[in-house]
Every structure is written in C-alpha cells, then in structure tokens.
C-alpha cells in the first residue's frame, strides 16, 4: 500500500506522542537480566602477555578473581581482547597453575619442592659462576688484527618481556649492563 508524505508524518507524530505519554523511552526493560558483575569490586590493569598492552577490568569477590574482561575506556583496545587475553581468567583460576618452586636436579627423574629463598640463592650463584667463567676482557678485531678491551659476558643473555613497565625495563637493562651482559632481548621479538 502506498503511503502519502502527509500520512507518513502523521503516523510518526502519533507514535512519538504515544512514547511521550507512556514515558517508556530509555527505560530498561523489566526483563533485562541483572549484570553479572553487580556488587563486585573492579580494578584496572594491563594484559601481561604482549607488547600491545591491552587494558583490562578485573572483578574480584572477597579477594578472589571472578571475572576479567577488556577495559572499554582503555585507549589501546577499547574493550576488545585477543583470544589469549580473553582467556586470562583461566590463568588466575587454574588448579594446574604452579604456585611453589619445583626443581628437578640434573639427571634426576623427579621434581622436588623448594623454597623461594633456595631458588633465588641458587639463581644468583649460577649467574655469578657463569659470569666469571665467560667474562672476556680483550678481543682481536679481525679488521685490523689489533687487540681491544671489550669487558663483556658472552655466556649469558637477559630476556625481558612485555609485562615490564618503563621503570622495570630501566632497572632490568641497568642490571644487565652492570653484569657485563651485552645480549639483551625482548620476548616479543622471538
């Protein structure tokens, strides 16, 4: 059925008047479900996985993470997350997640539980041993066949990651240089 311009405008005006009288425009439907995050504490943070640095909203209840989603107000991702970031909840709540130091000695077929103090002391001792063993003071340059002072560690690499912020990156690279380490890499380039 063809509708004239006048009739179309009349219909629109009647519909608008109906909405104004009923007062329903903009009201939430009585059938709308309650938000699943209602009453939870929310905090913002950054995804630890890659250098994109997407923003997250983490919801907690009694100190336990119960929901993680993209932060719609974050300028990088505006609420979206890749599948890895979208599965972060499963990292926070996972019975298979290791929460203690587990050590397997060279040649052993079993894992032993160790303390953090034991692990940190052992890492420090191994780093010191590697540094002393592989520290090079001089090297002959193939171009001119002359010997130059180099003072560098060749048996160690420092690997950083996207989870580090500016200040952590600064300290991390300072520490590497102080050790004499010249091989510095970033997880996202591997």
C-beta separation of 68 from 92 below 8 A: yes
Q: Beta strand pairing status for 181-186 and 112-114?
A: unpaired
Q: In the complex with ligand SF4, which residue's Cβ is closer, 61 or 84?
A: 84
Q: In whole angstroms, how far apart are CA 76 and each of 70, 125, 166?
A: 10, 41, 17
Q: Does 81 bind ligand SF4 (CB under 6 A)?
A: yes
* Cα→Cα distances 59→7, 46, 70, 87, 122, Å: 52, 14, 11, 14, 37
Query: Using CB under 6 A, which of 40, 65, 66, 82 touches ligand SF4?
Result: 82
Q: Which residue's beta carbon is nearest to the bound ligand SF4?
A: 85
The answer to the question of residue 176 lying near ligand SF4 (CB under 6 A) is: no
Closest CB to ligand SF4 among 77 and 176? 77
CB of 42 to ligand SF4, least distance (A): 18
Looking at 49, 71, 156, 181, which residue binds ligand SF4 (CB under 6 A)? 49
Cα separation, 120 vs 123, in Å, equals 5
- Per the listing, tokens 């059925």 go with 1
Interface with ligand SF4 includes 84 (CB under 6 A)?
A: yes
Which residue ranges make up the site for ligand SF4 (CB under 6 A)?
Answer: 47, 49-50, 52-54, 77, 81-82, 84-85
């Amino acid at each position: 059925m063809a509708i004239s311009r006048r009739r179309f405008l009349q219909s629109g005006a009647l519909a608008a008047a109906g909405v104004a009288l009923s007062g329903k425009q903009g009201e939430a439907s009585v059938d709308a479900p309650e938000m699943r995050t209602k009453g939870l504490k929310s905090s913002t943070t950054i995804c630890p996985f890659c250098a994109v640095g997407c923003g997250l909203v983490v919801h907690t209840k009694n100190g336990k993470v119960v929901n993680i989603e993209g932060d719609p107000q974050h300028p990088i991702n505006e609420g979206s997350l890749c599948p890895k970031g979208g599965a972060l909840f499963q990292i926070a709540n996972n019975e298979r997640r290791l929460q203690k130091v587990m050590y397997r000695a060279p040649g052993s077929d079993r894992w032993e539980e160790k303390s953090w103090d034991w692990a940190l002391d052992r890492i420090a001792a191994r780093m010191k041993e590697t540094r002393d063993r592989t520290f090079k003071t001089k090297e002959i340059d193939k171009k001119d066949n002359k010997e130059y002072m180099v003072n560098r560690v060749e048996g160690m690499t420092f690997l950083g990651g996207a989870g580090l912020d500016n200040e952590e990156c600064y300290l991390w690279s300072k520490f590497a240089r102080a050790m004499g380490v010249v091989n510095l890499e970033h997880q996202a380039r591997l």
